Structure 1
Amino acid sequence: MEHRASLLASHGFCTMALAYFDYEDLPKILGGLHLDYFGNALEFLRCHPKVNKERIGVIGISKGADLALSMATFLPGIKAVVSVCGCGANTFAPLPCGEFVIPCLGFSAEKIKLTENGEFDFSESMDDLLDPENSECLIPVERSSAAFLILSGLDDKNWPSAAYADQLVARLREHRKDVEGHTYPGAGHLLEPPYMPLCHASHHKLLGMPILWGGQMMEHAKAQEDAWKKILTFFSKHLKGTNFAMCRL
């Protein structure tokens, strides 16, 4: 999906939209992910003649957000990270990182709810992030030297991104990292750039079923407008210079 990358490029950022599954020759499922793939993409971006390799940012939404956090944690040189309705743990599929693997936070199928409109609500189905048994799934973002902007919606029906954001921001602040967090009442999971219509529910290609994303129309629209301003301000602050670049997940 290139719309956010294109808009960032229109503001002067050299931007790459990175597909990571179910695209051309990539794996059809999330189980084929490997951190080396994202490392190769980062190196490709660094080698571009118009990119300052010391000023690279990453932005990701949903699963892409925890991948962005993993990149900032285990790959060098990332200065700024934006997580949009993400999670502070690796989710859904183990992530090989060289000589070790980050386990994944899973979900319980029996906790998935079916709405009156035939949409599946996953908001209460994820395994407990605070359960000690899931501690190894946490991404040790406190190791990163990047700055972080954590955005979430209180009406997220995909998973509890607001609670995840609170936990992540608290952990980063505990380690005195540069982090700011913003949670939007009435906003759903798909916090897109401003003036894009609210997608309250849609067919999920990977799962093959209609998924509820949440969001109240007016509140979600206001959240998208404010979040976009904060993203631009954040990246301008931390990536400003002669050349800068960004990877969009």
Structure 2
Amino acid sequence: MELVERELTVPWEGVLVEPAGGSRTGVVVLLGSSGRVDRERARVLAGQGVMALSIRWYGGPGQPPGICEVPLETFTAAVDLLKERGAERIAILGTSKGAEAAMLTAVRDPRVDVVVALAPTSVVWGNVGPGLDGRERPYRSSWSWRGEPVPFVPVDDTWLEGDHGPEPVAILGWYEQSERTFAARLEAAAIPVEQARADLVLVAGGDDEMWPALRYAQELAGRRRAVGAPVELISSADAGHRIRLPGESPAAPMTTYAYGGTPEADARLGRAAWEPILDRLRRD
């Protein structure tokens, strides 16, 4: 399939990859805490006949330098662009923090038809890095909507005082401790996926060492099922945080944080999720 690739610089850095003949389906591709443009995933998806847009959602010109009160309007603007290019069916595919953004956007934007959340969280977390003012503490929300911060759960920095062994370090326990410390804030910070009209596909590994993604995915699925909303959960016990879809390169080894799983297990989970993902993207 012949693909056309365009570099974007405004309103954010990004890449748009689409079949030469265009497509009725558009997908916004969001990476996790790096916030960078994922050209490879956009190309893989475009190779399946969809219009794929991947954007830098923080750290660029005019954007917060960290994941701190990032406007969810960043992502509705990406939906605008796909709509302007003729997309009739809209999906957002996000990983980790990108999945958090994808679900929150779908709750607020009824134009989103599908959300694919890889290694998701079920609650909104506090900022990772500084906001526009350059401050990282005290903790603030990762996201804002119409100028107001989205309710969130801070992380408990006392976890950092413990001995967690040599690098790479698993920070799963940091999130679990933070849930206990700030239990009173969990309900308000829950991502209300039951309110989104979009279909929801959740993909999570039981060996995730970043945060308890499989438990979070089960909580999200439970909220959807409680109101009769469509949801599909694809999981495996041995996969970790960095799920790889067919056609993608293995994730690079990391030395600071442990992500769990293995390259083989992460790729197997991606293969298991691939057809359900494509099925949702291709539906009329």
Structure 2-normalised TM-score?
0.74
The answer on whether the counterparts of 2:71 and 2:147 sit within 8 Å (CA) in structure 1 is no
Tell me how far apart the structure 2 counterparts of residues 96 and 219 of structure 1 sit (CA, whole Å): 35
1:119 aligns with 2:172: no
The answer on whether the counterparts of 1:61 and 1:86 sit within 8 Å (CA) in structure 2 is yes
1:82 to 91, 98, 116: 116
1:108 to 148, 156, 162: 156
Q: How many residues align?
A: 228
CA deviations on 1:123-176 (whole Å, 9 max, x unpaired) are: 111122893422111122211111100110001000000000011100110011
Helix, strand or coil: the match of 1:78?
coil
Tell me how far apart the structure 2 counterparts of residues 111 and 222 of structure 1 sit (CA, whole Å): 33
Matches within 5 A, 1:1-249: 1-48=38-85, 50-52=86-88, 55-93=89-127, 94=141, 95-98=143-146, 100-111=148-159, 116-126=165-175, 127-128=178-179, 131-194=183-246, 196-199=249-252, 202=254, 210-237=256-283, 240=284
Helix, strand or coil: the match of 2:187?
helix
Which structure is richer in relative contact order (CA contacts within 8 A, separation 6 or more)? Answer: 1
Tell me how far apart the structure 1 counterparts of residues 105 and 66 of structure 2 sit (CA, whole Å): 20
CA deviations on 1:93-113 (whole Å, 9 max, x unpaired) are: 322212643122232233357
Tell me how far apart the structure 2 counterparts of residues 64 and 19 of structure 1 sit (CA, whole Å): 11
The answer on whether the counterparts of 1:63 and 1:91 sit within 8 Å (CA) in structure 2 is no
Name the % identity: 23
- Structure 1 pair 115/220, CA: closer, same or farther in 2 (3 Å)? farther
> Unpaired segments of 5 or more residues in structure 1?
204-209, 241-249
Tell me how far apart the structure 2 counterparts of residues 73 and 84 of structure 1 sit (CA, whole Å): 17
Tell me how far apart the structure 1 counterparts of residues 106 and 156 of structure 2 sit (CA, whole Å): 29
> Unpaired segments of 5 or more residues in structure 2?
1-37, 128-140
The answer on whether the counterparts of 1:198 and 1:215 sit within 8 Å (CA) in structure 2 is no
Tell me how far apart the structure 2 counterparts of residues 217 and 18 of structure 1 sit (CA, whole Å): 25
The answer on whether the counterparts of 1:153 and 1:187 sit within 8 Å (CA) in structure 2 is yes
- What's the offset of the Cα at 1:225? 1.8
CA RMSD of aligned residues (A): 2.2
- What's the offset of the Cα at 1:86? 0.9
Tell me how far apart the structure 1 counterparts of residues 236 and 195 of structure 2 sit (CA, whole Å): 28
CA deviations on 1:9-59 (whole Å, 9 max, x unpaired) are: 1111011102111235432211140112222222122111x322xx11111
Tell me how far apart the structure 1 counterparts of residues 192 and 148 of structure 2 sit (CA, whole Å): 13
Tell me how far apart the structure 1 counterparts of residues 60 and 163 of structure 2 sit (CA, whole Å): 29
